[in-house]
Homo-oligomer: A and B are copies of this chain.
Protein backbone atom coordinates (compact mmCIF):
# COMPACT_ATOMS: atom_id res chain seq x y z
CA UNK A 1 0.00 0.00 0.00
CA UNK A 2 1.47 3.38 -1.00
CA UNK A 3 2.54 5.29 2.11
CA UNK A 4 1.03 8.49 0.76
CA UNK A 5 -2.45 6.94 0.53
CA UNK A 6 -5.26 8.70 2.42
CA UNK A 7 -7.27 6.91 5.14
CA UNK A 8 -10.06 6.32 2.62
CA UNK A 9 -7.68 4.84 0.05
CA UNK A 10 -6.16 2.55 2.68
CA UNK A 11 -9.66 1.44 3.68
CA UNK A 12 -10.52 0.72 0.04
CA UNK A 13 -7.33 -1.38 -0.29
CA UNK A 14 -8.34 -3.34 2.84
CA UNK A 15 -11.77 -4.08 1.32
CA UNK A 16 -10.12 -5.17 -1.96
CA UNK A 17 -7.51 -7.32 -0.18
CA UNK A 18 -10.20 -8.91 1.94
CA UNK A 19 -12.13 -9.90 -1.20
CA UNK A 20 -9.07 -11.63 -2.69
CA UNK A 21 -8.36 -13.31 0.65
CA UNK A 22 -11.63 -15.24 0.27
CA UNK A 23 -11.60 -15.65 -3.52
CA UNK A 24 -11.72 -19.26 -4.59
CA UNK A 25 -8.27 -20.64 -5.42
CA UNK A 26 -10.01 -22.82 -8.02
CA UNK A 27 -8.66 -21.64 -11.37
CA UNK A 28 -11.99 -22.24 -13.12
CA UNK A 29 -13.66 -19.71 -10.86
CA UNK A 30 -11.54 -16.64 -11.33
CA UNK A 31 -12.06 -13.73 -8.95
CA UNK A 32 -15.23 -15.04 -7.33
CA UNK A 33 -16.11 -16.00 -3.77
CA UNK A 34 -18.24 -19.01 -2.97
CA UNK A 35 -21.26 -18.42 -0.78
CA UNK A 36 -19.89 -20.58 1.96
CA UNK A 37 -16.64 -18.56 1.93
CA UNK A 38 -18.67 -15.35 2.05
CA UNK A 39 -20.51 -16.66 5.11
CA UNK A 40 -17.17 -17.58 6.74
CA UNK A 41 -15.89 -14.09 5.90
CA UNK A 42 -18.88 -12.40 7.60
CA UNK A 43 -18.40 -14.51 10.71
CA UNK A 44 -14.64 -13.85 10.85
CA UNK A 45 -14.29 -10.34 9.52
CA UNK A 46 -17.49 -8.50 10.49
CA UNK A 47 -18.32 -10.39 13.64
CA UNK A 48 -18.00 -7.59 16.22
CA UNK A 49 -19.83 -5.09 14.08
CA UNK A 50 -22.71 -7.44 13.36
CA UNK A 51 -23.02 -8.31 17.03
CA UNK A 52 -22.57 -4.75 18.40
CA UNK A 53 -25.17 -3.25 16.13
CA UNK A 54 -27.67 -6.07 16.53
CA UNK A 55 -27.38 -6.40 12.77
CA UNK A 56 -26.76 -10.09 12.91
CA UNK A 57 -30.35 -10.78 11.79
CA UNK A 58 -29.86 -8.62 8.69
CA UNK A 59 -26.65 -10.45 7.84
CA UNK A 60 -28.20 -13.86 8.55
CA UNK A 61 -31.05 -12.96 6.18
CA UNK A 62 -28.45 -11.89 3.64
CA UNK A 63 -26.60 -15.18 4.06
CA UNK A 64 -29.82 -17.15 3.72
CA UNK A 65 -30.55 -15.40 0.43
CA UNK A 66 -27.02 -16.16 -0.56
CA UNK A 67 -27.33 -19.81 0.32
CA UNK A 68 -30.56 -20.30 -1.63
CA UNK A 69 -28.66 -22.22 -4.33
CA UNK A 70 -25.37 -23.61 -3.09
CA UNK A 71 -23.56 -23.29 -6.40
CA UNK A 72 -23.67 -19.45 -6.65
CA UNK A 73 -20.50 -17.36 -6.72
CA UNK A 74 -19.99 -13.77 -5.69
CA UNK A 75 -18.03 -11.36 -7.87
CA UNK A 76 -16.35 -8.18 -6.59
CA UNK A 77 -19.32 -5.92 -7.37
CA UNK A 78 -21.74 -8.22 -5.53
CA UNK A 79 -19.29 -8.46 -2.62
CA UNK A 80 -19.03 -4.66 -2.46
CA UNK A 81 -22.80 -4.24 -2.68
CA UNK A 82 -23.36 -6.80 0.09
CA UNK A 83 -20.88 -5.19 2.46
CA UNK A 84 -22.67 -1.91 1.71
CA UNK A 85 -26.01 -3.59 2.35
CA UNK A 86 -24.79 -4.73 5.75
CA UNK A 87 -23.15 -1.39 6.56
CA UNK A 88 -25.94 0.92 5.43
CA UNK A 89 -28.48 0.16 8.21
CA UNK A 90 -25.76 0.58 10.83
CA UNK A 91 -24.00 3.59 9.33
CA UNK A 92 -25.84 5.92 11.67
CA UNK A 93 -25.20 3.65 14.64
CA UNK A 94 -21.48 3.41 13.79
CA UNK A 95 -21.46 7.20 13.59
CA UNK A 96 -23.04 7.55 17.04
CA UNK A 97 -20.63 5.00 18.55
CA UNK A 98 -17.69 6.92 17.11
CA UNK A 99 -19.03 10.22 18.50
CA UNK A 100 -19.54 8.61 21.94
CA UNK A 101 -16.01 7.18 21.90
CA UNK A 102 -14.60 10.57 20.89
CA UNK A 103 -16.43 12.38 23.72
CA UNK A 104 -15.41 9.67 26.22
CA UNK A 105 -11.78 10.10 25.17
CA UNK A 106 -12.14 13.88 25.55
CA UNK A 107 -13.61 13.45 29.06
CA UNK A 108 -10.76 11.12 30.02
CA UNK A 109 -8.18 13.59 28.75
CA UNK A 110 -9.84 16.43 30.66
CA UNK A 111 -9.95 14.47 33.92
CA UNK A 112 -6.28 13.44 33.42
CA UNK A 113 -5.31 17.08 32.92
CA UNK A 114 -7.28 18.08 36.03
CA UNK A 115 -5.63 15.43 38.19
CA UNK A 116 -2.20 16.47 36.84
CA UNK A 117 -2.93 20.10 37.70
CA UNK A 118 -4.12 19.09 41.19
CA UNK A 119 -1.01 17.02 41.80
CA UNK A 120 1.18 19.92 40.57
CA UNK A 121 -0.66 22.38 42.84
CA UNK A 122 -0.35 19.86 45.73
CA UNK A 123 3.41 19.55 45.25
CA UNK A 124 4.08 23.32 44.85
Contacts and interface: CB of A to CB of B under 8 A. Distances in A.
A63 interface: no
Q: How large is the interface on A (under 10, 10 to 19, 20 to 34, 35 or more residues)?
A: 35 or more
A8 B15 contact: yes
B91 A19 contact: yes
Report how many copies the assembly holds. Answer: 2
A6 to B, nearest CB: 5
A7 interface: yes
A2 B47 CA distance: 12
Contacts of A9: 45-46, 48-49
Interface string A11-52: 111111111100000000001000000000000111111001
Nearest 6 pairs between A and B by C-beta? Answer: A80-B84, A11-B14, A11-B11, A8-B45, A16-B94, A9-B49
